[in-house]
């Protein structure tokens, strides 16, 4: 998920969404010209939809986290392999240099 174009984090977007949903539900409940039962049913509908939206956002965040974790593990594996190869190449070069210097040294 990360940041969107305006630089707002996913958490602040979710908080703004929830705040707007809550404010809209309360306003609709207070200003609606229907009986109390209808108002309660409407409010429950808003609450259900908000819950569904939250579950959807949670699922998207979970998917994004899993993808980032996988890419991070892949990067670490690649970096570890590169470091190991560099160390092995360095050891081989040192070994060759040592062998060359002992062959060049004649007492």
User: Quick one: pLDDT at residue 106?
Assistant: 59
The sign of the torsion formed by the CA atoms of 33, 39, 55, 24 equals positive
Query: Does the pLDDT value for residue 76 go beyond 90?
Result: yes
Give the 3-state secondary structure of residue 35: coil
Q: What is the mean pLDDT of residues 7-36?
A: 76
User: Quick one: pLDDT at residue 1?
Assistant: 46
Residue 93: give the domain boundaries: 10-104
Percent of the chain with pLDDT over 90: 33
Q: Does a structural domain hold residue 46?
A: yes
pTM summary value: 0.47
Q: Does a structural domain hold residue 4?
A: no
Q: How many domains would you assign to the chain?
A: 1
Q: Does a structural domain hold residue 27?
A: yes
Q: Which two tokens stand for residue 90?
A: 């360095």
- Residue 101 banded pLDDT, cuts 50, 70, 90: confident
Q: Does a structural domain hold residue 2?
A: no
For residue 84, what are the CA distances in angstroms to 81, 88, 94, 98?
A: 5, 6, 15, 21
């Amino acid at each position: 998920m990360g940041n969107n174009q305006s630089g707002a984090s996913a958490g602040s977007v979710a908080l703004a969404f929830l705040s707007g949903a809550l404010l809209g539900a309360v306003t609709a409940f207070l200003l609606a010209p229907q009986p109390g039962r209808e108002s309660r049913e409407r409010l429950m509908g808003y609450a259900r939809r908000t819950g569904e939206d939250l579950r959807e956002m949670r699922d998207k965040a979970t998917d994004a986290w899993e993808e980032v974790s996988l890419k991070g593990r892949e990067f670490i594996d690649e970096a570890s392999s590169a470091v190991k190869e560099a160390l092995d190449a360095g050891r081989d070069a040192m070994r060759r240099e040592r062998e060359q210097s002992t062959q060049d040294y004649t007492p």
